[in-house]
A = this chain, B = another copy of it.
Amino acid sequence: MTTVSLDDLNAMDRAAFVGALGEVMEHSPWVADATHAARPFSSLAALHRAMVDAVRNAGAERQIALIKEHPDLAGKAAREGTMGADSVAEQSSVGLDRLTDEEFATFHRLNDAYRSKFGIPFIVCVRRHGKDSILRQFERRLRNDSAAEREAALTEIFRIAALRLDQRVAAADRLEVHGHLSTHVLDTHGGRPATGVSIEFCEITGGRTQVIERTLTNADGRTDRPLIADRPIPIAVYELRFGVGDYFVRQGVPLADPPFLGVVLVRFAVAEPEGHYHVPLLVTPWAYSTYRGS
The residues of A with any CB-CB pair to B shorter than 8 Å are 133, 186, 188-193, 220-221, 235, 237, 239, 256-265, 267-269, 271-272, 282, 284-294
Contacts and interface: CB of A to CB of B under 8 A. Distances in A.
A264 B263 contact: no
Contacts of A289: 282, 287-290
B290 A260 contact: no
Contact of A256 (B258, B269, B284): B269
Contact of A284 (B188, B239, B257): B188
A258 B293 CA distance: 18
Which of A191, A193, A284, A291 counts the most chain B CB atoms within 10 A?
Answer: A191
13 contacts: A186-B291, A188-B284, A188-B286, A189-B189, A190-B286, A191-B286, A191-B292, A221-B294, A237-B262, A261-B268, A287-B291, A287-B292, A288-B289
Contact of A260 (B239, B262, B271, B282): B271
What are the 10 closest A-B residue pairs judged by CB atoms, nearest first? A289-B289, A191-B286, A287-B291, A256-B271, A188-B287, A258-B269, A265-B265, A193-B294, A286-B292, A191-B292
A265 B290 CA distance: 12
A287 B294 contact: no
Nearest to A289: B289
A260 B269 contact: yes
Contact of A294 (B133, B192, B292): B192
Contacts of A282: 287, 289, 291
A186 B257 CA distance: 21
B256 A267 contact: no
Contact of A288 (B192, B237, B269, B290): B290
A27 B188 CA distance: 46
A239 B256 CA distance: 17
A248 to B, nearest CB: 11
A190 B221 CA distance: 22
Given A292-B287, A294-B220, A264 B262 contact: no
A285 B191 contact: yes
A239 B269 CA distance: 20
B268 A260 contact: yes
